[in-house]
Amino acid sequence: MNQILILDFGSQYTQLIARRLRQLKVYCEILPCSTKLEEITSKELKGIILSGGPSSIYAKNSPKVDPKIFELGLPILGICYGMQLISHDRGGKVIKSKKREYGFSILKTSKKSPLFNGVPEKIKVWMSHGDEVKKMPKGFKKSANTSDIKIAGFENEKEKLYALQFHPEVHHTDYGLKILKNFAHKICLYKDQWSPASFLNETIADIKKDAKNSSVICGLSGGVDSSVASVIVSKAIGKKLYCIFVDTGLLRTGDKERMRAVFNKKYKFNLKIVDASKLFLSKLKGVSSPERKRKIIGKTFIEVFDKESKKIKNAGFLLQGTLYPDIIESVSVKGPSAVIKSHHNVGGLPKKMKLKLIEPLKFLFKDEVRELGRSMKMPEELLMQHPFPGPGLAIRIIGDITQERINILKKADKIMRDEIKKFGWYDKIWQAFCVLLPVKSVGVMGDERSYENTIAVRCVESVDGMTADWSKLPYELMQKISSRIVSEVKGINRIVYDITSKPPSTIEWE
Ligand code: XMP
């Protein structure tokens, strides 16, 4: 597939470059800057982008790229660190800026540069750098400057090398998308109109070929990723796809019923719903530490899944709904980030089960998966659902987990979700849920004193779950949620609303 390759030097914005190109219907992939030339040239490239990065070009062990990429005759755009790298490679001079620049600058653009075609002469751009190019390499022309930086962009049209000190991929840069579009269309001559569905036929054909003689097992959670992935695979191999849904007893009201309605009735999948709720509850008895809950649930899930999948004959593959950001994270030049919470997923399964992986979504971002689901006419309600964590309600019941406390939380959570949907707020929110607190307080109900539990309501807005802000729900909606829960759910007499962002909090309470 024709593409523009992004070589990653560790910038926090590298994924954004990819998101913007995909938005422009340009297919792109991200590889670490250390990727071998043979792998780079094995792709059908129309151009290369060198990302920014935190290093200084003169620092010991600063990341480099195989210099032979400059001899491939492909258009190359260097952004920030990428610009300094081009300068360095071509004999220009990079110096430490007098002060680290972080924030907005006014850029003066050159009309002659194809990158700035259709872009006004003065635009606001986002800068984030400590070094700058002091002297351009021979044969290069300046394409932009700011009042602080004489060379904020340079290029060599003959050699198809282009460089920018600022970040066109960042939302705050005016005409950033237009600049990237100019690079893709006018310089790289990328002509295709890529869409997530472009993958579909090819992916289906590949799965058909790979799984010709064996069955595929899928741990279907009913979330967006595993649902879309399973529909793709069922298109390829039909009844040779075996789906297992583990009912941990920690699901929300309606989750299991929806699984049946969509995957048994509508899609007629081979779907086995395993009721393991008693097992999970017994293993979690008396456990209140969040990390222990997660570990127990992860381990028990794998045991149940493993036992069930052994019953499937001729299994050769395990289907996983891995997305592109997971892949990029694991190959990035950045070091591993600190583990805040151990996430429960089925990552340990393939090794244990000796199955090969099928990952049909591994080059897609979340919103592209939704678009792909839409192109296959999957139910909108399924595609637009909020994320739900693997450990389920267990990490939304603070303290001990009992059947009674699960039931209380399920009722409160259902009321809250129903009201949010009624008010038309469901799609404005990234995630909305209730948390049952081990806090009792005094209330008055009718003429009687009550001494009952507290529910915290958590609604957040987010783009990727990495950072989040609390949703400013209308008071009327908050009031409705509060009064309905208190009057309809026995055992609750107080509702509080969580008004912390992430960071410093996390989205889930445990
Ligand atoms: P936190 O609480 O870390 O959550 O801010 C970020 C996002 O991840 C979801 N989450 C999980 N998803 N398994 C999952 O599949 C997990 O163990 C898990 N823990 C948190 C959370 O709901 C939010 O969307």
Kindly give, in sequence order, each residue whose CB lies less than 8 Å from that of residue 376, ignoring residues fewer than 6 positions away.
200, 228, 231, 232, 235
Token reading at 131: 């070094």
pLDDT at 326: 83
Give 298-321 as a DSSP string: HHHHHHHHHHHHTTSTTEEEEE--
Q: Report whether residue 508 contacts ligand 1, using a CB cutoff of 6 Å.
A: yes
Q: Give Cα separations from 493 to 350, 414, 437, 488, 496 (angstroms).
A: 46, 17, 12, 10, 10
Ligand 1 atom at minimum distance from 298 CA: 17
> Rounded distance, CA 83 to CA 226, Å?
40
Q: Is the confidence at residue 306, as pLDDT, over 60?
A: yes
The predicted pLDDT at position 101 comes to 80
Instruction: Count CA atoms within 13 Å of residue 380 on its CB side.
Output: 2
* Segment holding 410, helix H or strand E: helix 403-422
pLDDT digits (tens, 9 = 90+) for 33-51: 999 999 999 999 999 999 9
Q: For residue 208, what is the DSSP state? A: H
Answer yes or no: is the C-beta of 498 below 6 A from any ligand 1 atom. no
> Which has the minimum average pLDDT: 70-84, 94-108, 318-332, 446-460?
318-332
Instruction: Reply yes or no on whether the pLDDT at 333 is more than 50.
Output: no
Ligand 1 binding pocket includes 506 (Cβ within 6 Å): yes
Reply yes or no: is the peptide bond before residue 504 cis, omega within 30 of 0: yes
Cβ(271)–Cβ(220) below 8 Å: yes
Q: What is the pLDDT of residue 417?
A: 98
28, 33, 80, 459: the active-site residue: 80
Q: Above 50 in pLDDT, residue 435?
A: yes
Index of the ligand 1 atom closest to the CA of residue 430: 24
In the structure, what pLDDT confidence band is assigned to residue 351 with cuts at 50, 70 and 90? low
* Model pLDDT, residue 8: 95
Residue in 297, 337, 343 to alter for ligand 1 test, most ligand atoms within 8 A of Cβ:
343
Dist CA 413 CA 425 (whole Å): 15
Residues of the chain above pLDDT 70, percent: 95
pLDDT at 296 over 70: yes
In short, whether 343's Cβ falls inside 6 Å of ligand 1 is yes
CA-closest residue to ligand 1 atom 6: 465
Q: CA nearest 18: which of 333, 429, 367?
A: 367
- The band of 352, judged by pLDDT with boundaries at 50, 70 and 90, is low
Does residue 32 have a cis peptide bond before it, meaning omega lies within 30 degrees of 0? no
Q: Label residue 189 left, alpha or beta by phi (over 0 means left) and psi (-120 to 50 means alpha).
A: left
Where does 248-392 show beta strands of DSSP type E? 270-275, 315-319, 356-358
Instruction: Answer yes or no: is the C-beta of 341 below 6 A from any ligand 1 atom.
Output: yes
Q: Of ligand 1's atoms, which has the minimum distance to the CA of residue 294?
A: 17
Which ligand 1 atom is nearest residue 344's CA? 17
What's the token pair of residue 372? 């792909």
The alpha carbon of 389 and the centre of ligand 1 are apart by a number of angstroms equal to 5
Q: Is 104 left (phi over 0), alpha (psi -120 to 50) or beta?
A: beta
Rounded to an integer, what distance in angstroms lies between the CA atom of residue 433 and that of residue 417?
A: 7
CA–centroid distance, 394 to ligand 1, in Å, is 12
- Residue 487 Cα, ligand 1 centroid: separation in angstroms? 30
| Residues near 358 by beta carbon (within 8 Å), at least 6 away in sequence | 207, 210, 211, 216, 233, 317, 318, 319, 320
Instruction: Produce one character per residue of 481-499: b if its CB has 16 or more CB atoms within 10 Å, e if not.
Output: bbebbbeebebbbbbeebe
Q: Is 47 helix (H, G, I), strand (E, B) or coil?
A: strand
The full set of domains in the chain, from first to last, is 3-187 (3.40.50.880), 202-383 (3.40.50.620), 397-497 (3.30.300.10)
Report the number of secondary-structure helices (H) and strands (E) in the chain.
Answer: 15, 18
Q: Whose CA is nearest to atom 21 of ligand 1?
A: 389
CB within 8 A of 45, min separation 6: which ones?
2, 3, 4, 5, 72, 74
**Ligand 1 close to Cβ of residue 465 (< 6 A):** yes
Q: Using alpha carbons, list the distances in angstroms from residue 156 to 47, 139, 140, 219.
A: 15, 7, 5, 52
Question: Residue 465: which pLDDT band, with cuts at 50, 70 and 90?
Answer: confident
Q: Whose CA is nearest to atom 18 of ligand 1?
A: 389
Percent of the chain with pLDDT over 90: 87
Q: What gap in Å lies between CA 371 and CA 365, rounded to an integer?
A: 10
- Taking Cα atoms as reference points, which of 444, 463, 460 lies closest to residue 452? 444
Per-residue confidence band for 327, with pLDDT thresholds at 50, 70 and 90: confident
- Tokens in use for 103? 């924030």
Nearest to 224 by CA among 378, 341, 425: 378
Contact 96, 131 (CB under 8 A): yes
The one catalytic residue in 101, 132, 155, 169 is 169
Q: Residue 348 — very low, low, confident or very high, per pLDDT cuts 50/70/90?
A: low
The answer on pLDDT for 332 being more than 60 is no
**Mean pLDDT across the chain, nearest whole number?**
93
Q: How far is the CA of 465 from the centre of ligand 1 (A)?
A: 8
Ligand 1 pocket mutation pick from 508, 509, 510 by most atoms within 8 angstroms of CB? 508
Tokens describing residue 81: 């660190």
Partners of 111 in the beta sheet? Answer: none
Instruction: For ligand 1, say whether the CB of 389 is within 6 Å of any of its atoms.
Output: yes
Confidence of residue 12 (pLDDT cuts 50, 70, 90): confident
How many angstroms separate the alpha carbon of residue 307 from the centre of ligand 1? 26
- Residue 371 pLDDT exceeds 70: yes
Mean pLDDT of 174-203: 95
Whole-Å CA distances, 393 to 67, 273, 345, 396, 399: 52, 18, 15, 5, 12
* Span from the CA of 478 to the centroid of ligand 1 (angstroms): 24
Of ligand 1's listed atoms, the one at least distance from the Cα of 343 is: 17
pLDDT at 102: 85
Helix, strand, coil percent values for the chain (each to nearest 5): 35, 25, 40
The whole-number pLDDT of residue 350 equals 60
Q: How many Å apart are CA 286 and CA 402, to the nearest integer?
A: 9
Query: Over 70: is that where the pLDDT of 331 sits?
Result: no
Of all atoms in ligand 1, which is nearest to the CA of residue 388? 22
Distances, alpha carbon 310 to alpha carbons 73, 108, 217, 233, in Å? 53, 65, 10, 20
pLDDT at 337 over 80: no
Distance from the alpha carbon of residue 237 to the mean position of ligand 1, in angstroms: 32
From ligand 1's centre to the CA of 343, what distance in Å?
Answer: 7
Pairing of strands 161-164, 3-8: unpaired
Active site residue 28: no
Pocket test for ligand 1, best of 323, 326, 396, 507 (most atoms within 8 A of CB): 507
Q: Is the CB of 502 under 6 A from ligand 1?
A: yes
State the catalytic residue, choosing from 28, 33, 129, 167: 167
Whether 167 sits among the annotated catalytic residues: the reply is yes
Given a cut of 60, whether residue 398 has pLDDT beyond it is yes
Distance CA 501, CA 270 (A): 41
272: confidence class by pLDDT, cuts 50, 70, 90: very high
Does 417 or 59 have the greater pLDDT score?
A: 417
Residue pair 125/173 in contact by the 8 Å Cβ criterion:
yes
DSSP class of 430 = S
